[in-house]
Amino acid sequence: MGRAVGQITLFGLLLALVTTLPNKDDWDIYSFHINSTVNSRYATTVITSRVANRMEESKEIEFHVRIPKNAFISKFKMTIDGQDYDGVVKAKEQAQQQYTEAVSRGQSAGIVSSVGRTLEEFKTSVTIAAHKKVTFELTYEELLKRKLGKYELQIHARPMQPVKDFKIDVYINEKAGINFMEVKGGLSTNALANAITKTHADKEAWVYFYPTEDQQKTCDSCGDQGLNGDLVIVYDVNRDTSLGDIKRSAGYFVHHFAPSSLPRIPKNVVFIIDQSGSMHGRKIQQTRIALIHILSDLAEDDHFGLITFDSRVSHWKQELVQARQENVASAKTFAQNIQDRGATDINAAVLEGARMLNAHHREGSASILILLTDGDPTTGVTNLKSIQSNVRQAIADKFPLYCLGFGFDVNFEFLEKMSLQNNGAARRIYEDSDADLQLQGFYEEVATPLLTDVTMIYVGGTNLTQTNFSQYYNGSEIVVAGQITDNDIETFSPQVVAISSTKKVVFSDTNTTVESTGTVSDSHIQRVWAYLTVKQLLDKELLLSGPEKENVKQEALRLSLKYNFVTPLTSMVVTKPPGENTDVLHKPKEGEAPHVFLVFQDMQEVTPLEAPQVPNFWARVPYLLLNLRQQVPAYWETPGFLIQQCHDLRESSLPELVRGSTRRKSPARGSVPGVFSHRDMDLTRVQIAATIVPDRATNAPLSHRFLIKTEGQSLPLCFDVTGEVRLKLLHHPNRELFVNGELDSVERGGFKKIVIHFGTDKHIEVNQLGIIVREGQTETNQTGQDLITVGSVTVIRRGKEIDVAAGDTRMVIVIQDKGAATFLWPVLRQQPSDLNVSGILALKPAVYEEVPQTPPTKLKINNEEIDVTRSNAVDYSIVSSPTLDCWLMSAASALQTRLDDFIVTQL
């Protein structure tokens, strides 16, 4: 076949075949231990799962855990029949090459890892002979970060079945002394509370969590599959106003600096709030709630400003004012009346916030700029590099910029880079019921500056991590690590210089001793240094370009390999017994989807495909056969064609539609090509990077799945539309605006064409190739890269989004690329104020009640009980296309009217 690349759309994966998770009754997790040791805030956690195959035949056994996002995996091992199989950390490109070589030998490969709010997933599997056992052991490391005066060690437990020997053991050793300790999280409440034993003795603490099998079934988040939740150990250490806590070992040191009892510094803060149309609904409501709460927390000697922005910048006041009671009350009224509208001019808004702070210099105060946005810049200056350059020039290192990205439409890397360039940080605010609390929680972290212009000085130190910090906040901590030159402790002299209110302060307690940790944990301090250095180099790489960027990247890679860290630059190759598949573990980036790999026989290249971030995604992956037949028919006409899939296909597994032979004569163009069977293929294994045994397959008609969002409900609704129909998307008669769309022929795809009519003889057609503008008899083809203005309608393409604005209506058409298929998906970012609008996009958020029964299979909508099935759907209205769980029902039930009411005969 030569050099072939197979690209399949994701929703081709979910086409016509049904798969299930491995039957866990076939194997027994007889022991599941989590052991976490914390030394000087550095946690090393080992998860050990021991599993036995109780069946009379070989079974595939999986290991599936969640770990904190901040952690680096540093070791993975499987033990089978006394033989250890160790994972090996390699440069990502090298690991990918090994992966490709493995699949070219007929093996499969793959990983599932995804990013959630605080956790990442790791999953692998191995085939175990009858009555044999396997031990999985995963180690990860993290430096606990102090927030709001405490450290939190989060341990997630989900063994997937009740376990006879289940234990979580936590040991904390802090030479500074442990000030307090408590245990929180879903696994610490109600029925499980008496399964926890905790002991606190000055510098050490122990937590033991040993629930019985019955307790593992009866807790709030438990069931037949056992525990599923977090155990969170919260603690802090003793502190004073001296230099802090310094430890050394084997030529390395780590310095924890968090002085207490310092006077707070009055702050100057400007809040920059996005009120563009995309903030519509719950996001703008939660922003109002959070902002009002934050304003209430301002101290009277704080000065503050408040601006909102869409396509223009609006001020509460032109300048900063003191947070007196009457000013705060006025600002709350302004915040209460923030309404979503218009486009997004981030550049103008941030520059105006910087101008306000620069014009309000106050001796002995600390300035902070806080931006909240949920999308990309769509008007004004929209080039991201230009915005970053403008902002950096305006701020000029005088104060930090903190960027809060609301949801997943936002370009988080853009915000992260802009924050790092200006001594701040970026944080994602997740669209959830607690979004307002997330906003408040972030503000609380920066609400009380204690020091500014902090410089950490280490005479006799080298290879230091970051030593300059713009501000130190109450409840936080500065951590610096490095090497002691020639390991000469006599010449090593630490000092901290900073500004406290109006005076310079120096922390250099001559009585402070640099404590040695002895020989027990000689590598511990060194690993803290390596962890911090790699983290900071990865941040630095984001800011650089050219040779400097490459040098920083190579140094981060070198350290990652030396210390066996799985980072964004490395991967862990999970080795297994001969004949087993090779798994490659990548560390995902924020918002990044995991990958699926398809491989064809004689293939010289492996193609990654995005996979949605949803629980049990692999439980829903089918064989891809029908969609593959449509997408790459040439491959089906080639003898010896092979897809890699995890398990042998049984003849009965294939749907009747695709039975056939690859040795038949190539079909005529337009006919259905033949597909292999066991009888006439030399290679009959079909595999994909997953851990599911396909059970059965059914053919399904072509359908597209739609979501109806909800507010305050557990799940959205979803329904299917069958066939290549034309739909009424938005009809706005008062503005003479009519938008219709035609669905494509890709299973679970989207629209191939969307037409926008306005006025009497004008319309704009958007298709997969571009934009066509028709005015009367004149027709022009546009790319959309430049602003298109036709009458009252403007259209511009920005990356994967086409922004359409017409008066008070703003629609975005998202361009989705899934493998070989490209389709469109429209979403209304700003609802028209006129109530006389109709169409799929104008549907109001669904309101329903769950009818109490187990399992829940009925909802009540408008006093009518409706049969539903818990399913899932991809939210194509977001570029990253996350997959959401939803209640699947008929279109008529979801729409509360006939689907025919939304079908049009012509575009």
Q: What is the pLDDT of residue 589?
A: 67
Residue 37 pLDDT level (bands cut at 50, 70, 90):
very high
Is residue 667 pLDDT above 70, yes or no?
A: no
Q: What average pLDDT does range 584-591 have in this prediction?
A: 69
Is residue 520 pLDDT above 50, yes or no?
A: no
Lowest mean pLDDT: which of 122-136, 344-358, 497-511? 497-511
Q: What average pLDDT does range 51-63 have in this prediction?
A: 88
Q: What is the pLDDT of residue 342?
A: 84
AA letter at 265: I
Q: How far apart are CA 401 and CA 446, in angstroms?
A: 11
CA dihedral 877, 881, 883, 886 (to 10 degrees): 0
Percent of the chain past pLDDT 90, that is, above it, reads: 42
Determine contact, residues 887/906, Cβ cutoff 8 Å: no
Give the best-scoring range by mean pLDDT among 135-139, 186-190, 514-518, 654-658.
135-139
Q: What is the pLDDT of residue 423?
A: 94
Percent of the chain past pLDDT 70, that is, above it, reads: 80
61 vs 625: which has the higher pLDDT: 61
pLDDT tens column, 488-507: 888 899 999 999 987 999 99
Q: What is the pLDDT of residue 697?
A: 32
Q: How far apart are CA 886 and CA 872, in angstroms?
A: 5
Q: Which helix (H) or strand (E) covers residue 261, if one does?
A: none
Q: What is the pLDDT of residue 241?
A: 61
Helices (H) and strands (E) in the chain, counts: 14, 56
Q: Is 554 helix (H, G, I), strand (E, B) or coil?
A: helix
Is residue 662 pLDDT above 50, yes or no?
A: no
Is residue 601 pLDDT above 50, yes or no?
A: no
Report which of 154, 142, 74 is spatially closest to residue 118, judged by C-alpha positions. 154
pLDDT tens column, 282-295: 899 999 999 999 99
* 345 contacts: CB under 8 Å, gap ≥ 6: 309, 310, 311, 312, 313, 377, 378, 379, 380, 381
pLDDT tens column, 768-802: 888 998 887 788 888 777 778 888 788 888 778 88
Q: What average pLDDT does range 342-367 have in this prediction?
A: 94
Residue 474 pLDDT level (bands cut at 50, 70, 90):
very high
Is residue 838 pLDDT above 70, yes or no?
A: yes
Alpha helices in 740-827 (DSSP H): none
pLDDT tens column, 430-441: 888 888 999 999
Q: What is the pLDDT of residue 512?
A: 53
Q: What is the pLDDT of residue 260?
A: 82
Sign of CA dihedral 183, 189, 192, 193: positive
Lowest mean pLDDT: which of 207-211, 330-334, 465-469? 207-211
Determine contact, residues 450/472, Cβ cutoff 8 Å: yes
581 vs 428: which has the higher pLDDT: 428
Q: What is the pLDDT of residue 706?
A: 92
Q: What is the pLDDT of residue 114?
A: 53
Is residue 540 pLDDT above 80, yes or no?
A: yes
Is residue 386 pLDDT above 50, yes or no?
A: yes
* 487 contacts: CB under 8 Å, gap ≥ 6: 250, 251
Q: How far apart are CA 266 and CA 281, in angstroms?
A: 35
Which DSSP category does 842 fall into? G
AA letter at 64: H
Is residue 477 pLDDT above 70, yes or no?
A: yes
Q: What average pLDDT does range 376-403 have in this prediction?
A: 94
CA distances to 304, 384, 447 from 353, rounded to whole Å, are 11, 18, 18
Is residue 563 pLDDT above 70, yes or no?
A: yes
pTM: 0.67
Q: What is the pLDDT of residue 99?
A: 63
Residue 687 pLDDT level (bands cut at 50, 70, 90):
very low
Mean pLDDT of the chain, nearest integer = 79
Q: What is the pLDDT of residue 385?
A: 92
For 885, how many CA atoms within 13 A lie in the half-sphere containing its CB? 10
Residue 834 pLDDT level (bands cut at 50, 70, 90):
confident
